[in-house]
Amino acid sequence: MDRSQIEQARDAVNSSWDQQPRVGIILGTGLTSFANQIDVAVAIDYDQIPHFARSTALGHRGRLLCGFVEGVPVVTMDGRFHLYEGYTSEQIAFPVRVMKELGIELLIVSNASGGVNPTLRSGDVVVIEDHINLMFDNPLIGPNDDRLGERFPDMLAPYDAEINQRALTLARQHSFQAQLGVYAGMTGPNYETRAEYRFLRTIGVDVVGMSTVPEVIVARHAGLRVLALSAVTNVCDPDQLTSTSGDAVVAAAESTEPKMRDIVTGVLRTLDN
C-alpha cells in the first residue's frame, strides 16, 4: 500500500466525519459489543473506504465507527482482518496507517486468545507487554516510505509501559485481576496442536492468537503508543487438551467484555492525566 492509497482512504473517512480522532480502537472476536459504548456519529462500511479489505471472520461486522467515548474522539474498527482470511499482513495493518493519517496518537487493540500460561483461566484479561511473531510475515517487508516511519523501527517496547500499568490499576479498581503477558501471533485458522502448545510454553508465551501482531508492528513504525488487551477464552494445557470451536471462543470472549470495557473506558477517561 502506498501513501496515495492511505490518503484516499483517509479522505473518504474525512468526507463523512470532520473530527480528528485521538485514539484508534480495533475490536477483536467477541468484543464488538464495546461498540455500544461509543457515541457513534458516523458508521462507514468497509466497502465504502478505498483499499480496505472485507471482514469475513465470525462476529466481525466490517464497519468503521467514528464518534466519542468518555468525550474522547475515537475511530473504531468493528471487525478486523486476519491472515487466515487470505489477506497479507500489509492489508491487515492498512487501517492503522489510515488511523494515523486521521490523527490518532494511541492505538488500543483487543483480541481473543488461548491461555498457554497454566495460571490463566477462561475469562481472564491479559495486558500484552510483548509479543512473538510466529506468523512468518511482516507488514514492513518491501520498500520503505520514510514519511510513514523509519526503515528499521525499534521494537524494544512495542506496548506502552505507562498505559499498561494504568490498565492493571483500573482492573484492580474494578475488583478483577489482570496480568501482564507475552502474546504469540499465529496464522490460524486451525487451533494449535499439543506439540505447538508445549513449544509455546517453552519459549515463554502466555497467550496465543491469530491477530494483533501486524497492526502493532505498523503502529510502532508510525510512532503510535499501543495498548493491547487479550481475553482468555480457553485454557491450552497440552496434557489435558479439550476440543474447542469458533462459537465457543466468541461466547467466552463476550463474557469477558465487561472487564475489557472497564479498562478501555478508564484509559480514555484518564487520557490526559
Q: In this structure, are residues 255 and 135 in contact, taking their beta carbons and an 8 Å threshold?
A: no
Q: What is the DSSP letter of 191?
A: P
Q: Residue 143 has what pLDDT?
A: 96
Please give the model's pTM, rounded to 2 decimal places: 0.95
The total of structural domains in the chain comes to 1
Q: Residue 221 has what pLDDT?
A: 98
Cα 273 from Cα 269, distance rounded (Å): 9
CATH number, position 182: 3.40.50.1580
Q: Residue 137 has what pLDDT?
A: 96
User: pLDDT of 41-53, one tens digit each?
Assistant: 999 999 999 999 9
**Of 270 and 32, which is predicted with more confidence?**
270
Residue 2 has pLDDT above 80, yes or no: yes
**Mean pLDDT for the chain?**
93
Q: With both helix axes pointing from N to C terminus, report the angle between 89-102 and 3-14 in degrees, rounded to the nearest 10.
A: 50
Query: Which residues, including other chains, have CB under 8 Å from residue 215's CB and lie 6 or more apart?
Result: 26, 80, 92, 93, 95, 96, 107, 109
Residue 144 has pLDDT above 80, yes or no: yes
Q: What percent of the chain has pLDDT over 70?
A: 97
User: For the chain, what percentages of helix, strand and coil (3-state, to nearest 5) are there?
Assistant: 35, 25, 40
- The whole domain housing 178 covers 3-272
Residue 58 has pLDDT above 70, yes or no: no
Q: What is the mean pLDDT of residues 244-273?
A: 85
Query: Which residues, including other chains, have CB under 8 Å from residue 267's CB and lie 6 or more apart?
Result: 108, 163, 166, 167, 170, 227
